[in-house]
Structure formats: structure tokens, C-alpha cells
Amino acid sequence: MLTIQEILETIKMIQEEHLDIRTITMGISLRDCAGGDVRSVCRSIYDKITRLAGNLVPTGEAIAREYGIPIVNKRISVTPISLVAEYDHTEDYLRVAETLDRAAAEVGVNFIGGYSALVHKGSTGGDNVLINSIPAALAGTERVCASVNVATTKAGINMDAVALMGRIIKETAARTADRDGLGCAKLVVFANVPEDNPFMAGAFHGVGEPESVINVGVSGPGVVKRAVEQAGNCDFGTLAETVKKTAFKITRMGELVGRAAAARLGVPFGIVDISLAPTPAVGDSVAEILEAMGLARCGTHGTTAALALLNDAVKKGGAMASSYVGGLSGAFIPVSEDAGMMRAAVEGALGLDKLEAMTCVCSVGLDMIAVPGDTSAETISAIIADEAAIGVVNQKTTAVRIIPAPGKKVGDYVEFGGLLGRAPVMPVHSFSAAAFIKRGGRIPAPIHSLSN
Amino acid sequence: MKYLDTTENRGKRIIITVIGPDRVGIIAGVTGILAENNINILDISQTIMQEFLVMVLIADMEKSKIDLLALKDRLSIKGDELGVRIEAQHEDAFKFMHRV
């Protein structure tokens, strides 16, 4: 029996604590669009996306109103374009990027993910063409997001791809220099990438996925923060229990919306990604949850332990609330998109090294971090290699979304606006890793990958 | 709120919440709109929270003349008139969160 208190709790979560559904992402397979010349590929891609996702935005809006829960983003993920366009041996992948951009605009979604390549063990000719076209594609389109998987626990780390991605990130920044290197905010380098992640910029529709699917990403750091504050001065067991219960409630909303959206659009329901996804809004911050646990600032000693507790409790609560949990499912720590992270970075409490440590115990990686414009490609590659190593050895997803902001130095800011937020430029180590990165080849898979 | 436990009319029930400073005519305003549109009220409860009136109505839209989105618009206009915030939501938004 529902009580008035329960009804008010839900209302309060939505109205005061920023509970929302962060994204409904429709995954669309483009495998049947391959074949023929690049023009016919593009035509098939455009037709298929606009046909399947034509009702995505109105359906999302109707669900949001009926249930009274905001659905912030409606998005699309597609089969990695490296697999779709390779058939033609074309050098003209930009045309495909523009097609994706047009299709996304037509159906009214703000991002479309899948300008992607999976090269964890090595790359094909088509993979290389795609990766090399990323800077131009991200500079020349508005909505397209790119990602490259460079490592898995089973394959090890493709260090050639890691070296290449350092240069690609630099070039992407250069090509979008007039917008503080915005292109880099739409480019993610992964280890152990999930194939059903609904969150941008790293979403794509994996090869094992069905024709079309609905995946949902929830949010709710503000709700967790309030619950932690209300729990007061309790011990860690009680604290974890509080987070768990709250995560359960948040995830149920995602499950409800995902099922409703899938049923109305006539496609299967895939997964709920239970990640705590912050926004730049004050009070909607993962860092502030850690601070509510008793840290004076996120980034100080104790932060990794606090984040580990949070991440684990979110998973335990979320896993019980949804029939299918997937995607990244943890806590995000994007610096520019989280007001508390940003404040900690500005005040010097939070640096790259601590962020790297935090990625060992939470869902993604070094996310939305601005570094000086003169950071070398090799240094960026080395940062990627470190993150990939954490992912590969710990059998988890890690990622790097880093912006070497052109012309900016430590103490400056980059401004991306909207959900991408604003970030202080953070220092990197000045000692070179160039000779290490130059070796090339592949770092072998760890011993515990031999699990058969 | 005993009606929420029954399984009949599942999927047709909505929860209307009114939050704001108390004044004459709030219940009349809301229930008037529901009556006009043939929406049956199953339960009403109210409480005072930090000097605000909080009223929760459970209603059945089975025989309603209008759909939920249209009803929301009308309630919202009435809420502006009365100086309170009126929301109407499908009951699943609450049941899913609080009941396994």
C-alpha cells in the first residue's frame, strides 16, 4: 500500500534532487547497410535511422509527461561505422559522418554514437581510415560521437593504436581550436568497451546486439547525496545500506521508463545502465556525495575508499531493481560535468593522479579532463596506456576523454556549455614518456585472462 | 490509500499531487476538473508539511473523456490560478519505485 510519504518522496526526488532519466538511447544495427558504394551505404544508413528512430523523441517526451519524470536526452547508437563502411574500400568516411549527423538532426536527437572502431588486437585497413578521419568528422559535424577500443583483458593493449590515438586527440583539438577543442569531448578511447552503453560519447551498438534495442541510463547523484546527508553520522554499513536503497529506487524509474519506451517503439528492451551520472547543476554531483560522506574535498585522502563504497552500493541496489543491468554501470567522475569535481580541481584538491586512482574503483575513467594545449601526443598516449592497463588488469571498462585545450595553460578554463560543462585546465607530468610509447606493438593480455 | 493494492483497472489510475499554500477552493478546483471529464476519484488524503498544503488524490481514468496529457495541461492552468503546483502522474511512477 503506497503511503502519502512515499508519494511525496518520489515527487521530492524529481523536483528538488534532480532525479531524472539521463538518456533513452536507441541502438540500431547498420550491418545491413553495408555493401555497394559509399553513396548507397549512406542512403541506407539515413533511411534506416530515420525509419526506426522517427518516433524516438516524441515517444520519450510523452513518457516523460505521463510519468512526470524528466528524460533529459534521447539518443541513438549505431553499429561501429568501421564495420559498415569498410566494404567499399572507400577513403571517404566523412560522407558517412555527415549522413549520421543529418539523420540525427532529422529525428531530433542531440547525439549519435558509433563513429567507432574496435582495434584492441590490431586494426584493419578500414579501421585505420576511420580513425584517421575522426578529427575531420568531429570538427565537421555537430552530433556525431566517436570512440575507439584499444584494449581488452583478453587481447591486451594495442599500443600502436594507443600511440595513434594520442595524435588523433591532438589533431581533433587543433581542428576545433576555436571551440576550446570541443571535438575531443566527443571522442572516447576505451579499454574493455561495453557494447550496450547508452551514455555518450562512448555509445555504439555492438555486434552481438539485436536489430534495434532500447537502453536507458539513469541519473540521480542529487538523490544519493541527500540520502547520505540524511543518514547522518552513521557507520559504513549503514551508509552503504542507505546508498543501496536509494540506488534501488532510482533504478526502478529507469526500468519503468525503459520498458515503456521499448513497448511503445516496438523494439526489445536492452538494459538499464545504473551509472550515477552527474550534471554541472549544483547538487547533482558525485563529488558532493563523497564530500557528504565526510571528506572536506573530493580528491583528498580517503576519496578512493569513499568512491569504492559508493560504486559498490549503487551496483548492489541497482542490480536488484532491474531485470537487465548493463552498459557502464558505476559512478561517473567527469570533471567538467560535475560541479563538485570542478571545484575540487580548481582548489587543487583533485589532480590527474588521484583521478586515475579513482578510476580503479568506479565505472569509467579519466573523463572530460582539460589539460594544457602544449601537452604532447606521447603524453596523452601514455595517459591512455595507464588507463587501459587499469582496465585490462582489473577486468573492467576504463576510458579516456581528454581535451588538450589549444592555447590554454594550467589555471585557464575551457567552456563547452550545456551538459558538457566547464573545466579548469589541469597539470600533467612534465617528464616524457615518448620513448616508451614509441616502442609500438601490443602489451600481452594478463595471466588471469587465461580463464578457460 | 487502500485502492492502490487492487489489481482491477490496472494502468488506468493516476496520482494527482497538489503542493502549495493553503487557500479556499483548492479541492473544489481540482475535483471540478476531474468531474467535468468523468474521472472518478478513488481516494484523497492531505497533510500539512512545512506550512504547505500537500494533497494527494488517486483517480481512475478508465472512463475519462480526455487523456492524461490533456488532463495535466488543465490541472496545470488551474494550479496557476490557485497559486499551487498540481502534478498528475501515472501511478506506476510510484509503484515501481516503492514496491517490488
Kindly report the CATH number assigned to the domain that includes residue B84: 3.30.70.260
Residues of A in contact with B68 (CB under 8 A): 65-66
Q: What pTM does this model have?
A: 0.91
d(CA A200, CA A78): 12
- The predicted pLDDT at position B5 comes to 43
Lowest-pLDDT choice from A21-30, A36-45, A384-393: A36-45
- A24: exposed, middle or buried (C-beta count within 10 Å: 0-12, 13-18, 19+)? buried
DSSP codes joined into one string, A262-284: HHHHTS-EEEEE--B---SSTT-
- The predicted pLDDT at position A417 comes to 80
pLDDT digit string, tens, across residues A81-128: 999 988 666 677 899 999 999 999 999 999 999 999 999 999 998 899
**Facing residue for B45 by CB, picked from A4, A9, A65:** A4
- The predicted pLDDT at position A353 comes to 95
* Contact in structure between A350 and A341 (CB atoms under 8 Å): yes
The reply to whether B54 falls in a domain is yes
The reply to whether B71 falls in a domain is yes
d(CA A102, CA A22): 23
Q: Do B93 and A69 touch (CB under 8 A)?
A: yes
Residues of A in contact with B98 (CB under 8 A): 2, 6, 9-10, 249
Proportion of chain A above pLDDT 70, given as a percent: 99
- The predicted pLDDT at position B4 comes to 43
Q: What is the mean pLDDT of chain A?
A: 93
Proportion of chain A above pLDDT 90, given as a percent: 81
* Residue A352, beta-bridge partner list: none
**Facing residue for B1 by CB, picked from A2, A62, A65:** A2
d(CA A126, CA A193): 19
The reply to whether B35 falls in a domain is yes
d(CA A433, CA A414): 26
Q: Is A243 left (phi over 0), alpha (psi -120 to 50) or beta?
A: alpha
* Residue A74, beta-bridge partner list: A24
pLDDT digit string, tens, across residues A223-240: 999 999 999 999 999 999
- The predicted pLDDT at position A174 comes to 96
- What residue of A is the nearest CA neighbor of B96? A252
pLDDT digit string, tens, across residues A275-286: 888 888 888 899
Helices (H), A53-186: 56-67, 81-85, 93-107, 125-140, 159-175
Confidence band for A392, pLDDT divided at 50, 70 and 90 = very high
| pLDDT per residue as tens, chain B (100 positions) | 444 443 444 558 999 999 999 888 899 999 999 999 999 999 999 888 778 889 999 999 999 999 898 999 999 999 999 999 999 999 998 988 888 7
Lowest-pLDDT choice from A19-33, A79-93, A106-120, A161-175: A79-93
The enclosing H or E element of A217 equals strand A212-218
User: Cα dist. A322→A247, A270, A276, A326 in Å?
Assistant: 11, 11, 15, 10
- The predicted pLDDT at position B8 comes to 43
Q: What domains does chain A contain, in order, with CATH numbers?
A: 1-436 (3.20.70.20)
**Facing residue for A256 by CB, picked from B47, B68, B92:** B92
Please state the domain count of chain B.
1
Residues of A in contact with B97 (CB under 8 A): 6, 10, 249, 252-253, 256
Confidence band for A331, pLDDT divided at 50, 70 and 90 = confident
Residue with cell 552530433: A143
pLDDT digit string, tens, across residues A354-389: 999 999 998 788 999 999 999 999 999 999 999 999
B58 lies in which domain range? 24-98
Residues of B in contact with A255 (CB under 8 A): 96
The reply to whether B15 falls in a domain is no
- The predicted pLDDT at position A89 comes to 65
State the smallest CA–CA distance between residue B41 and chain A in angstroms.
16
pLDDT at A15 over 90: no
State the smallest CA–CA distance between residue A421 and chain B in angstroms.
30
Q: Do B97 and A69 touch (CB under 8 A)?
A: no
d(CA A124, CA A89): 11
The reply to whether B31 falls in a domain is yes
The reply to whether B9 falls in a domain is no
State the smallest CA–CA distance between residue A67 and chain B in angstroms.
5
pLDDT at A51 over 90: yes
In this prediction, residues A50-55 reach a mean pLDDT of 95
The reply to whether B47 falls in a domain is yes
**Facing residue for B2 by CB, picked from A1, A4, A6:** A1
d(CA A87, CA A82): 9
In this prediction, residues A41-50 reach a mean pLDDT of 95
Of A176, A166, A84, the residue nearest A129 (C-alpha): A84
The reply to whether B42 falls in a domain is yes
Question: ipTM, 2 decimals?
Answer: 0.81
